[in-house]
Chains A and B, each alone.
Chain A
């Protein structure tokens, strides 16, 4: 069971976070949420698609690590085999909580950093310390705090980005058909991708809007990222020990 606590240098003085990457520490994810500000880094390694969030039906971009539940093809015995790990994964086991605090005498919702103290990454022996000897934040903790801030803004940015894509009808359902070297075929549904034909036909004034908002860059990153599907497939074939016939 997860147990989230507000991070503080009293209760958590001696805690360390194991930042190794493996299944036992919960890295066996087949996708994770990403956002436009991160697309440049993400598209270098992972295909970016859009998915509907179950609770709202709204589109959100995701970086794909595998083809099925609990399959992360980037994990191997040495850890995570890629030059960049999306920050919604890298931030584990931290989350953002909200707390009501008095600001100038008025109660205000503040974002606070919380930690799942029951998470297998949390221990006292191995990994990154949260606090320095006399209670100051470690660089690691500061970097996590910055990540959480980026995630918060990223989620907000996603809402506007997705609304813009929906309004311009720039998304289309994408069925990912995968064929492995042994001839077995797999199909993934529930993914959406940029509709390039629609993008090409976009009137000039709409296109200008996309340039101005920076969304056009994000759209191009997402389109380019599809080249990574082939590499993901190669990882899958390799993991299964399959050779090209």
Chain B
């Protein structure tokens, strides 16, 4: 019989998923020098190179790093990381160099009033994001979200990070092993062994024999050693909604040591997909995500190369080495099965349009850390809830990413025609789109707690893409007018003040390298 008490957590696979999960759970549960403490073991073969995509995070990463006791200055330097304040979407509306921002900061006073209602009357004069927050202006100027005197993890503008995924996993590993009591077994897994009740009993490794556990976490990426190879949990493809199934990635050097480091992820729509462009401290990461049903690989590589050429001054075509990755858009039918949970790419994967991959890992690990069953007998209840929650989250991701496509006026390729065709739009999203014609997206749209994307994000995309709502008039809206005018005035002066005082992303990163950030 399986041991009833949950004490040993065994994580299969390292990489970003494995180590973030280990770190979050250890920070919550591990007690030094206590034999009754939860013990976490990560089996990771350093011979297997992690896939290393996922170079953008959400602001949630600040809390994740802080909760693990990581020093922000050290993280920034070890992971080649920079500050990300949102995304800039170029050419998504019409393809004539149009752009809009999805910043991380909520519209001013978001939970007191819905500024969108008021902005509708001025929509021809100012883009939505600029009217409701200062952050779009900061991004446009490539400014940092803070100053050198701002303490670690604090900010003027809410931020996450751009980071080198190849360095991030090893960095977290080192911290987990040295500071959080996580055991690292550097080995390859050869077998998964079951109890008679079908729970995982142990995993067999090439050099370290059998390794047991009470809860197993499958972070083996596309291998899916437990979720796929052992339990064959069905995969739910979402390719009929989001067509992009291939990515080509390249690393580009800066033209000079002074070239600006972008404050947002630059996402430029193409005829058959979109190109990400992110700035780390020492290089850029650029990649093309596209639909292989609409464009062949050779053509796609050409698209990427052209983009790179046009965005750099001195670059030899031969210096660009392009790596191809397959994306199977979709997720597992469930994630927690028996005494195992799949986290990271083993649970599902979708194009990185809103950098949801790492965020979902953080949320999954946090759920497990907070709801960790004390014994096996309570595990099935938590598993069922977890599965419901994360299926909802996948639905939200799907719906929110699709929103970026459906409002486009582009009709310059089959890809855009297909993307905007009603038959590819999930029913829940179609319902929202109907509703938003007569009322602004707001908090009432969220039917679940701990929503993945706040309704403010829907506002940024909907109005950024030119979505229409018939202006409403009500007693409340008229009463709010004075408050709104003051707020808009305040946002304007705050914007001007921050534009004057904040350093550029690169200036701040250089300063941090020299002086470090203070913790208070």
Contacts and interface: CB of A to CB of B under 8 A. Distances in A.
Contact of A169 (B148, B511, B514, B519): B519
B91 to A, nearest CB: 39
B518 A57 contact: yes
Nearest to B501: A54
Interface in B462-520: 511, 514-520
B520 A172 contact: yes
A171 B149 CA distance: 14
A57 B517 contact: yes
Contacts of A58: 515, 518
B156 to A, nearest CB: 14
Contact of B149 (A57, A166, A172): A57
17 contacts: A52-B149, A54-B148, A54-B149, A56-B148, A56-B511, A56-B514, A56-B515, A57-B148, A57-B149, A57-B150, A57-B511, A57-B516, A57-B517, A59-B518, A169-B519, A171-B520, A173-B520
A11 interface: no
Interface of A: 52-59, 166, 169, 171-173, 192
Task: Please name the 9 residue pairs, one residue from A and one from B, whose CB atoms are nearest each other, closest first.
Answer: A57-B148, A52-B149, A57-B149, A56-B515, A57-B515, A57-B518, A58-B515, A173-B520, A56-B148
A52 B515 contact: no
B147 interface: yes
A52 to B, nearest CB: 4
Main secondary structure of the interface of B (DSSP, over half): loop
Interface in B85-118: none
Contacts of A59: 518
Nearest to B516: A57
Interface in B137-155: 147-150
Interface residues of B, number: 12
A174 to B, nearest CB: 10
B346 to A, nearest CB: 40
A169 B149 CA distance: 16
Nearest to B146: A57
Given A54-B149, A171-B520, 6 more contacts: A56-B148, A56-B514, A56-B515, A57-B148, A57-B150, A57-B516
A52 B511 CA distance: 14
A52 B148 CA distance: 9
B515 A166 contact: no
Contacts of A172: 520
Interface of B: 147-150, 511, 514-520
| Residue from A57, A59, A166, A173 having most chain B Cβ neighbours under 10 A | A57
A169 B511 CA distance: 21
A56 B150 CA distance: 10
Contacts of B150: 57
B520 A53 contact: no
A193 to B, nearest CB: 11
B518 A52 contact: yes
Contacts of B520: 171-173, 192
B481 to A, nearest CB: 32
Contacts of B514: 56
Contact of B518 (A54, A55, A166): A166
Contacts of A171: 520
A192 B149 CA distance: 12
Contacts of B517: 57
B66 to A, nearest CB: 15
A53 B514 CA distance: 14
A194 to B, nearest CB: 12
A25 to B, nearest CB: 30
B293 to A, nearest CB: 51
A166 B71 CA distance: 13
A226 B519 CA distance: 23
A53 B520 CA distance: 14
A172 B151 CA distance: 12
Nearest to A57: B148
A14 B270 CA distance: 74
A171 B518 CA distance: 11
B519 A55 contact: no
A55 B501 CA distance: 11
A53 B519 contact: no
Contacts of A56: 148, 511, 514-515
Nearest to A162: B518
A59 B517 CA distance: 11
Contacts of B519: 166, 169
Contacts of A192: 520
A107 to B, nearest CB: 25
Contacts of B518: 52, 57-59, 166
Nearest to B517: A57
B155 to A, nearest CB: 14
A57 B512 CA distance: 9
A53 to B, nearest CB: 7
A38 B440 CA distance: 62
| Residue from B147, B149, B150, B514 having most chain A Cβ neighbours under 10 A | B149
A52 B519 CA distance: 12
A170 to B, nearest CB: 11
A122 B148 CA distance: 36
A56 B518 CA distance: 10
A192 B151 CA distance: 13
Contacts of B511: 56-57
A43 B516 CA distance: 30
| Residue from B147, B148, B511, B519 having most chain A Cβ neighbours under 10 A | B148
Nearest to A56: B515
A169 B152 CA distance: 14
A209 to B, nearest CB: 20
A171 B150 CA distance: 15
| Residue from B147, B516, B520 having most chain A Cβ neighbours under 10 A | B520
A172 B149 CA distance: 14
A172 B519 CA distance: 10
Contacts of A173: 520
A217 B148 CA distance: 29
Nearest to A51: B149
A173 B150 CA distance: 12
Contacts of A169: 519
B150 to A, nearest CB: 8
A161 to B, nearest CB: 15
A241 to B, nearest CB: 35
Contacts of B147: 54, 57
A10 to B, nearest CB: 40
A101 to B, nearest CB: 28
B362 to A, nearest CB: 27
Nearest to A172: B520
Contacts of A52: 149, 518
A58 B514 CA distance: 11
| Residue from A58, A173, A192 having most chain B Cβ neighbours under 10 A | A58
A52 B147 CA distance: 11
A194 B518 CA distance: 15
Nearest to B503: A55
